[in-house]
Structure 1
Amino acid sequence: MRKFLDVVLVKAGRTKIRYRAGLLGDDGTRIGVRAPWAAPDVRDFGFVRFEPGDVFIEHYWRDRWYAVKEVRTGDGELKGWYCDITRPAVLRETDGPAELVVEDLDLDLWVSADGTDVRRLDEDEFADSGLARRDPEAARQALAALDELERIAKEGGLAELLG
């Protein structure tokens, strides 16, 4: 079994970011990886900060329209979960490291460590993306995935989903 792969996040047909991640597991449906915060600087959302030293335990599915990323500080303190609405993940074998390719569909969900702050993000970007016009079925799947994750989070079920 491989130890590392490259996560390739694609947005609007272009690679948004690529980073190396340690493979935690692949059961044929869900792929788990561990990676440090991939940007060189701090990203402050106002309700959470991602910064160098943070660690992301990321869960991708081949049959679901989302990815869930558990975010921890470098010393292990849970910050929360950042959920990306995506097309189902595709694992591609290459001559180099395998690539886990994920297409970002602009919608996101944040869930704080204590579960009291569940917020939908980037709905304006999603509307502006034109996905509903270009690919109505994908837009429907994306919105359904966001609703499903929000429901799971509000019911306190994210840990169970990832367990």
Structure 2
Amino acid sequence: MTRRLLILAAAGGSFALLAGAFAFQYLGGLPPCPLCLWQRWPHAAAILIGGLALFLPGRVLPLLGAGAALCTAAIGAYHSGVERGWWEGPTTCTSGGVSGLSPEQLMEQIMAAPLVRCDEVPWEFLGLSMASWNAIASLGFALLWIAAARSRT
């Protein structure tokens, strides 16, 4: 594959995942949690990097694209662990214990809680959540970016 095709595939993959996320949100009625939103930013960066890398030579931009893909893959893997209860997520988007709270403090915690929690899986396919699929696909995109950086054509 040529450098140009590798860049198009990697940036196009990020575009497809980002478009899918917006489709799930606006057409499917599944609002994103904070971790879902964090996963979107590196995809947006990869798309911009891809646009530049198509016209500018060198390895720096494809390596930055690989970094963006690895970043969203890492966030997706972290989010998957939060969803599966392997570790706690940010206190702003996961449920926590209520022991030791007064009724007033509990009510305050409930009222301040976000509507969409990071530790619940709103959709899955083949036993994997959107965050898991994002992590897997983004690792593949990182490999495409790396191949583009190494390509001589």
Q: Find the structure with the greater CA-based Rg.
A: 2
Which has a greater percent of helix?
2
What TM-score do you get using the length of structure 2 for normalisation? 0.30
Which has a greater percent of strand?
1
